[in-house]
C-alpha cells in the first residue's frame, strides 16, 4: 500500500460531544431505523454485529446512503470489482431499498462459475462501540464514503485501525454546507480522518475545504454520474415497452415525492384534454408509497395499471404505475419525455442524467439544490427543460409532444452531454490507487 499523507489535527472533544448526543437520542434513532430491514437480516447489524470476514479474505468497503446513491455508484462498483479481482466489495446502505438494489446488482454482475464478490451489509448506527465493532469485523483494506456520507465515529474507527479512507463523488449542496458549518469543529475532526477526497466540482471542493478538509488531499474529478452507461438489459426492456405502447404519447415521471404526485397527475389530466391517448408512467421514489400513489390515481378518476401486478395499459389507461425496483432507467427509456422528480417538492432533485443517458429529453422543476452542477452543464448544452410548477409543466408537455424535432434535439443534446463529461471514474480510480494499488 502506498504511504498515506498525514491528516490535519481534528477536535476530539467535538466527536465526544456528538457521541453523547447520539446516546441521548438513541431511542428516537432506533425507532427511525426499525422499519429499514429485510426479511432474514437481523437488526443487530445496526450495532455493527455482522459476521466476521473469513481469515485471509481481502475486502474493500463502499458506503452509499440509499438506492439513488447505489445506482449512481454502479460504474464505480463495477470498476472496483474489475481493478481489484482479489478483493471482495462490501456495499453498505442505510435503507432497505438500497439493500435490495445492492442485491439486484450482485445478481446482475455475477459471473457463471464464480462466487459473487459483491456483498451488502447495513451500515451501523454511528455509536462509538458499533462503529469500532463493525470496522474490526469487516477488516477493510480501503473505506469509501459516497457523496456526503460523513460519519464521525466510523471515520475515527477506520483511522484507529489504519484503514485508508476516501470520499468519492464528494458533494456538499449549499444547504448541506450551511448545516455542517454550524458543526465545524465536528466536521473538521471527521475530515481530518479522510486521506483523499474526490470532489464533483470546484464549488463542492471549496465547501469541503471551508469545513476543514486539507486542500492537498482534495481533487476535483467531476461527477461519477456522467459515467452512467445503461446496460443491455435496461435498453432491451425499454425498447420492448416502447414497442408495446405503440404510437400513443408517453411521458415518464421518475423518483417522485409526496406533494409532487398531485401536481403531476393534475398536469397529466390537462395534457389529456389535448392528447386524450397520452399515458403517464409514474415511478414513486419510495416503495412504501406505491399503494398510496395508486390510491391517489383512483381518487382522481384516472384509469391505472400497475407494473408489479403484470397489468398492461389498455387504450383508456391514463397512468402506468412503475411500482417495481431497479427499472427506472428502462422506464425512462420507454418515454417520449422524462420528468425527474424531487424538484417540485423541497427535496433538491434527483439524477437528471439517467433519462439523458437513455436518449430521452429531460424536464425538471426548480428545486435542484442537490444537482445544480449537473443541471448547469445540461443547461449550457440546451439539454434541460425547466418548469416553475405543475401548471407550467402541463403547458410544456403539450408543446413538446407536438414538436418532435425539438424532442430529438433535446435528446441528442443530452446524450452528447453524458458522453462529453465521462472521465470522473478513471480519475477516481487513479486517486484510489495511491491508497490501495490495483492488482
Q: What CA–CA distances, in Å, run from 40 to 37, 43, 44, 45, 191?
A: 9, 9, 12, 12, 35
Does the annotation mark 206 as catalytic?
no
Q: Which residue has the cell 456538499?
A: 172
Selecting among 36, 45, 57, 69, the annotated active-site residue is 69
**For helices 390-401 and 261-274, what crossing angle results, to 10°?**
40
CB burial readout 145-166, b (16+ within 10 A) else e: bbbbbbbbbbbbbbbeeebbbb
Q: What CA–CA distances, in Å, run from 5 to 12, 26, 155, 209, 434?
A: 20, 35, 16, 16, 10
DSSP letter at 8?
P
CB burial readout 281-300, b (16+ within 10 A) else e: bbbbbbeebbeebbebbeeb
**For helices 202-211 and 174-181, what crossing angle results, to 10°?**
10
Question: For residue 308, what are the contacts with CB-CB under 8 A and spacing of at least 6?
Answer: 290, 321, 323, 324
Cα–Cα distance, 158 to 100 (Å, whole number): 26
Backbone angles phi, psi at 173, to 5 degrees: -65, 160
Measure CA of the first residue to CA of the last residue in the chain; give whole Å.
Answer: 11
- Contact by Cβ (8 Å): 59, 138: yes
Cα–Cα distance, 244 to 237 (Å, whole number): 11
CA Rg, the chain, in Å?
22
Q: How many CB atoms are closer than 10 A to CB 316?
A: 8
* Cα four-point dihedral sign 409, 410, 415, 421: positive
* Residues identified as active-site: 69
Amino acid at each position: 500500500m502506498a504511504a498515506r499523507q498525514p491528516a490535519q489535527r481534528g477536535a476530539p472533544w467535538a466527536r465526544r460531544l456528538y457521541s453523547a448526543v447520539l446516546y441521548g437520542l438513541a431511542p428516537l434513532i432506533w425507532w427511525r431505523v426499525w422499519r429499514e430491514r429485510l426479511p432474514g437480516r437481523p437488526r443487530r447489524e445496526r450495532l455493527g454485529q455482522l459476521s466476521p470476514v473469513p481469515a485471509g479474505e481481502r475486502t474493500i468497503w463502499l458506503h452509499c446512503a440509499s438506492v439513488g446513491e447505489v445506482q449512481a455508484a454502479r460504474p464505480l462498483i463495477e470498476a472496483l470489482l474489475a481493478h481489484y479481482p482479489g478483493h471482495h466489495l462490501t456495499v453498505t446502505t442505510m435503507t432497505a431499498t438500497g439493500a435490495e438494489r445492492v442485491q439486484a446488482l450482485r445478481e446482475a454482475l455475477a459471473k457463471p462459475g464464480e462466487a459473487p464478490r459483491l456483498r451488502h451489509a447495513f451500515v451501523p448506527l454511528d455509536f462509538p462501540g458499533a462503529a469500532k465493532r463493525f470496522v474490526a469485523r469487516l477488516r477493510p483494506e480501503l473505506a469509501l464514503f459516497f457523496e456526503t456520507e460523513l460519519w464521525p465515529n466510523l471515520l475515527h474507527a477506520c483511522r484507529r485501525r489504519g484503514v485508508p479512507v476516501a470520499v468519492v463523488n464528494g458533494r456538499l449542496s449549499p444547504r448541506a454546507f450551511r448545516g455542517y458549518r454550524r458543526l465545524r469543529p465536528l466536521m473538521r475532526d471527521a475530515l481530518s480522518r479522510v486521506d483523499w477526497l474526490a470532489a464533483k466540482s470546484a464549488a463542492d471542493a471549496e465547501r469541503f475545504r471551508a469545513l476543514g478538509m486539507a486542500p492537498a488531499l482534495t481533487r476535483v474529478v467531476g461527477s461519477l454520474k456522467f459515467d452512467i452507461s445503461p446496460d443491455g438489459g435496461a435498453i432491451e426492456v425499454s425498447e420492448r415497452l416502447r414497442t408495446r405502447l405503440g404510437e400513443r404519447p408517453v411521458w415518464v415521471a421518475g423518483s417522485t415525492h409526496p406533494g409532487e404526485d398531485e401536481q403531476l397527475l393534475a398536469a397529466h389530466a390537462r395534457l389529456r384534454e389535448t392528447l386524450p391517448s397520452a399515458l403517464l408512467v409514474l415511478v414513486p421514489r419510495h416503495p412504501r408509497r406505491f399503494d398510496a400513489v395508486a390510491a391517489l390515481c383512483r381518487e382522481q378518476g384516472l384509469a391505472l395499471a400497475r407494473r408489479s401486478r403484470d397489468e398492461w395499459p389498455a387504450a383508456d389507461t391514463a397512468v402506468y404505475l412503475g411500482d417495481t425496483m431497479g427499472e427506472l432507467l428502462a422506464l425512462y427509456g420507454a418515454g417520449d419525455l422524462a420528468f425527474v422528480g424531487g424538484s417540485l417538492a423541497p427535496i433538491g432533485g434527483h439524477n437528471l442524467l439517467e433519462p439523458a443517458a437513455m436518449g430521452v429529453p429531460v424536464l425538471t422543476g426548480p428545486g435542484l439544490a442537490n444537482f445544480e452542477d449537473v443541471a448547469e452543464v445540461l443547461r449550457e448544452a440546451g439539454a434541460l427543460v425547466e418548469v416553475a410548477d405543475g401548471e407550467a409543466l402541463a403547458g410544456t408537455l403539450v408543446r413538446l409532444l407536438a414538436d418532435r424535432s425539438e424532442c430529438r434535439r433535446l435528446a441528442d443534446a443530452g446524450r452528447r452531454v453524458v458522453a462529453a463529461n465521462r472521465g470522473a471514474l478513471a480519475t477516481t480510480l487513479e486517486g484510489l490507487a495511491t491508497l490501495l494499488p490495483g492488482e
